[in-house]
Structure 1
Amino acid sequence: MNYIKEINAFYDWLETNGLSLSAIALWFALMHINNKAAWTDEFAVAVSVLCVKTGLSPRGVSSARNELAQKGRIKWRQRRGNQSALYSMVSLSAYVAYNHADSQADNTSKYQLSVMSADNRADNRADNRADNRADNRAALNKLNETDPNSSCNARVKQIQESLQTAGILVPSPTEIEKLDYWIQQGVDLETVLFAIEKAALANKRRVDYINGTLKNWYRAGIRTREQAEAETENFKILKGGLSDGPTNQPTGGNLGGNYKQLRVADTGKTVSFDRTKFEFPG
């Protein structure tokens, strides 16, 4: 197997096939273990190991394993006694390559037949292809409208890819759900991705740090990436050259006891902010 091709093929497969977060996490864990085992056809791994790598309970691993088997993504069999179960990964990239080759052979056959009766068959193929494209587009649109997992899977894919780029290679379903929670609260997906990028640049490759950043932004009314980027720039300015000014002294008549005034040293300007809305993750 080719690790990168399998991951890309898996993400493509997720676009039209629903799969729970637990099953997705288990698939990545099993792929990682199979890679370390030099892609053997069958490999053994204990449930306790899978619990550590996925963040799932033994019961969660069992449920996710059955889901993957039902969807045709893995094969597994139990062994007697205390022996670990045996697993084998079902290659998606090989399946895609086979379909591509089969499609090419089918197209070649159609071309040869078209030479025998060029006019009629060319017209028929053009009509059929147009109808098929229209039917496929309608079916895909209907799937996206009716499948509740479609948009969720798309978000999960982007969040997982971003976390992997940040160095968090196998995020648990619980960790992904923590970040997806803010999207459900009205925070843009791009804002979540920016928080992941920001954590990677700060060498804080932990989901709890990213979650803390999103919590601060949400409490401050930040929902879009543009707002988050502006807040980040303001914080850099404040952090780079601040000196404490007088507290509880309103300059516009509306500042109360929860506010603190800060003076930017190199400009002499004073900035006021609400201390109760900011927590700085460690």
Structure 2
Amino acid sequence: MDYIRQINAFENWNEYNELGPGAQLLWYKLMRVANLSGWQNELSISNTRLQSMTKSSEKTLINNRNQLIQSGLLQYKKRGRTKAGIYILIDLTTGIAPVSKASTGTIPVNTSADCSVDTTVKTSVVSSVDTSAYINKTKLKETKQNNIIDIDKQKIRDAYAQKIIPMDRPEQVDRVESFVEEEFDLDVVLFAIDYAASERKRSANYIVKLLNDWKRSGVKTVEDAKIAVENFKQSFLQSKQSYNNKPIRTEPIPEWLNDPEGYNAQKEAEIMDRLRKEAGDDPFGN
């Protein structure tokens, strides 16, 4: 990849697409790490390091990451709680994710930044939390939650392959399944897939737009989603009826159309009268 070309392509993309400032900052930081790493195709970066680089909480980081995934700018691979996740930046000059062997070694980032992040995190944990059963319960709860999310994502992948596109690109499927991490429960995402299939809108773009619209509308459950769908259909129908009921422009109808034979006879008499006058048959003009 070319650093400057990627930044210019991202700026151009940003002019026509909606992306939050936090997600934009995360993209720039990931691009910088990719540049420093010698453009490794897969970047292994911990959440704590990215939190330090973007000055954000873990929840905010995940939300920003999901925005990039849903926008088709990033792929992300989880590797459990003990290993850093893998980030794959999409080449914006081609729109294709680079494919090669996994490269998960240490990324040459500023050493002082690594030390400050690790020290801060370790110190705060040791000093503020007692080594008790609470830690084990918290880790167990997080592990269980992550396992549930992984299972939900697999169900989304299966439904997507069955009802949308059997062999779609991984980054497209990632955009859809990322909604189950923070935004929606599994059944809402599955309903979006079912609805897209029923409307013959079999694409990740349509499903992502649908889910984002629901998120802005405050949809939380499948029932909420059904109401949102019905409201959209009613709104579309009303706008269509309003367009069809617009007054049609009419022009006044000439009187001669009501009596074409009489009109023709009158015109013929006028022409004959004019010709007689021009021929001099009537010197007095009568």
TM superposition score category, shorter chain reference: 0.3 to 0.5
The normalised TM-score by structure 2 is 0.35
The normalised TM-score by structure 1 is 0.35
